[in-house]
Amino acid sequence: MSNNTDKPSEFDFATRAVRAGQVRTQEGEHSEPIFPTSSYVFSSAAEAAARFSGEQPGNIYSRFTNPTVRTFEQRLASLEEAECCVATASGMSAITATIIGLLKTGDHIVSSRSIFGSTTVLLTNIIAKLGIATSFVELSDLAAWEKAIKPETRLLFLETPSNPLTELVDIAALAEIAHKHGCLLAVDNCFCTPALQQPIRLGADIVIHSATKYIDGQGRCVGGAVCGTRDVVGEGVYGFLRTAGPTMSAFNAWIFLKGLETLNLRMQAHSAAALELAQWLEQQPEVQRVYYPGLPSHPQHELAAQQQSGYGGLLSFELTGGKAEGWALIDATRLLSITANLGDTKSTITHPASTTHGRLTPEQRAEAGISDGLIRVAVGLESIEDIKADLLRGMR
Ligand SMILES: *Cc1c(COP(=O)(O)O)cnc(C)c1O
């Protein structure tokens, strides 16, 4: 766990992404060092006692204190403008630590229906076993959120924009509803990252990350993080993590630190490429509809322009055909990777109806808006002309 020691106003975002949280050792290294050590030694028995009692701050054991992990936490906290950040072993463990760290049996969660598949399974199959129930609502429907809140509701949870249909919710309006009812608002900010959207500035209490995606940005490591206030994240979430142990390793923290240094540039490049691809797709006769918040045709384009400083790298589109045409398009690609992952320099292509949403019934899929002709592309950093040519191979 690390407290944010940088005053956000002192340096701009791009500067903090490169420099925040670094503590140089006596070796004078320019790049942040990796500390691959499980434990730390004390100069005396009295110092050991003072560390263990919490009287003296400092390292004890790398399940909960590691200098490389701390640098990553401080940098991300600075970028999210959070008081505090806790790094975790994965995005899923960040969500688990948030819920178990802050809620108890009998509490209730209201969640967007359009969330990462494993998060849905976590809520309905694992968290439910602890006696913490979840009600699912339509992401953009503020009235539905408020209606689903019960006296025992403690947490509202969402991702915006959603995957794969890029639907949004007004974070500031939902934060107001959450606080009126004494609930915490948690935003999984995986798709935008703080480079494009800062939920805490908009009133959210907790920001969750799968660092595996854009924070790494090159598809190497699995990791996660939770950002928020000292009270909520520094106590509840960190309290769970230090004892239960789904901790980020020093090696992974170092990779993610290097990812943060180029996050701003990469998110701008992903956004520019996705916008160009979305505009091009809208002109193709084989494409019926394109879902991308940067397009004026997107029903929430104005909200996206207000709430985000860029539109991100994720888009989806509906072919005029169905599953056969969708699969043919995917199988004709030579460049795009056929995988459900995202947030990589390499572009990826997915058929949601038969993969990420394959376990839903046809009725559930229809309700979620996932048609058989829907294709999702997470636009990477290759030449946009090569990506267009690759998609064109399977279209005509
Ligand atoms: C991938 C992902 C997760 C889970 O993260 P892992 O690092 O794979 O555990 C959570 N939320 C979103 C939105 C994701 O895309």
Question: Is residue 346 domain-shared with residue 210, that is, in the same domain?
Answer: no
Using H for helix, E for strand and C for coil, what is the string for 105-167? CCCEEEEECCCCHHHHHHHHHHHHHHCCEEEEECCCCHHHHHHHCCCCEEEEEEECCCCCCCC
Question: Is residue 71 domain-shared with residue 108, that is, in the same domain?
Answer: yes
pLDDT at residue number 3: 63
Ligand 1 proximal residues by C-beta, below 6 Å: 90-92, 116, 118-119, 159, 188, 190, 210, 212-213, 222, 224
Question: Is residue 22 domain-shared with residue 100, that is, in the same domain?
Answer: yes
CA geometry: angle at 220 spanning 218 and 225, to 5°? 95
pLDDT at residue number 7: 59
Question: Is residue 102 domain-shared with residue 134, that is, in the same domain?
Answer: yes
Domain that holds residue 109: 11-261
Residues 6+ apart with CB under 8 A from 319: 286, 287, 288, 325, 326, 329, 373, 374, 375
Q: Which residues pair with 224 in a beta bridge?
A: 88, 210
User: Which tens digit of pLDDT belongs to each residue from 176-213?
Assistant: 999 999 999 999 999 999 999 999 999 999 999 999 99
Is residue 376 helix, strand or coil?
strand
- Residue at which a domain ends, from 261, 276, 298: 261
Q: Residue with structure tokens 């990589």? A: 344
Greatest extent of the chain over all pairs of C-alpha atoms, in Å: 75
pLDDT at residue number 35: 97
Question: Is residue 123 domain-shared with residue 245, that is, in the same domain?
Answer: yes
d(CA 386, CA 374): 21
pLDDT at residue number 8: 55
Residue ranges in the chain modelled with pLDDT below 70? 1-9
Question: Is residue 226 domain-shared with residue 240, that is, in the same domain?
Answer: yes
CA of 321 from ligand 1 middle (Å) equals 30
CA of 206 from ligand 1 middle (Å) equals 16
Which among 95, 112, 118, 221 is the best mutation to test ligand 1's pocket, defined by most ligand atoms within 8 Å of the CB? Answer: 118
CATH number, position 97:
3.40.640.10
pLDDT at residue number 4: 67
Is residue 252 helix, strand or coil?
helix
Residue nearest to atom 8 of ligand 1 (CA): 91
Question: Is residue 62 domain-shared with residue 195, that is, in the same domain?
Answer: yes
Helix (H) or strand (E) holding 194: helix 193-196
CA of 93 from ligand 1 middle (Å) equals 9
- Residue at which a domain ends, from 242, 261, 280: 261
d(CA 296, CA 274): 14
CA geometry: angle at 218 spanning 215 and 219, to 5°? 95
pLDDT at residue number 363: 87
Phi-psi region at 166: left, alpha or beta (left = phi > 0; alpha = psi -120 to 50): left
pLDDT at residue number 6: 58
Question: Is residue 242 domain-shared with residue 383, that is, in the same domain?
Answer: no
CATH number, position 346:
3.90.1150.10
Tokens of 118: 């494993």
Question: Is residue 132 domain-shared with residue 254, that is, in the same domain?
Answer: yes
d(CA 19, CA 21): 7
CA of 91 from ligand 1 middle (Å) equals 5
Question: Is residue 77 domain-shared with residue 106, that is, in the same domain?
Answer: yes
Question: Is residue 67 domain-shared with residue 152, that is, in the same domain?
Answer: yes
Within a domain: residue 5?
no
Of 274, 317, 266, 322, the residue nearest 294 (C-alpha): 274
Within a domain: residue 4?
no
Instruction: Please count the structural domains in the chain.
Output: 2
Q: Residue with structure tokens 């199959």? A: 125
Question: Is residue 119 domain-shared with residue 252, that is, in the same domain?
Answer: yes
d(CA 50, CA 41): 13
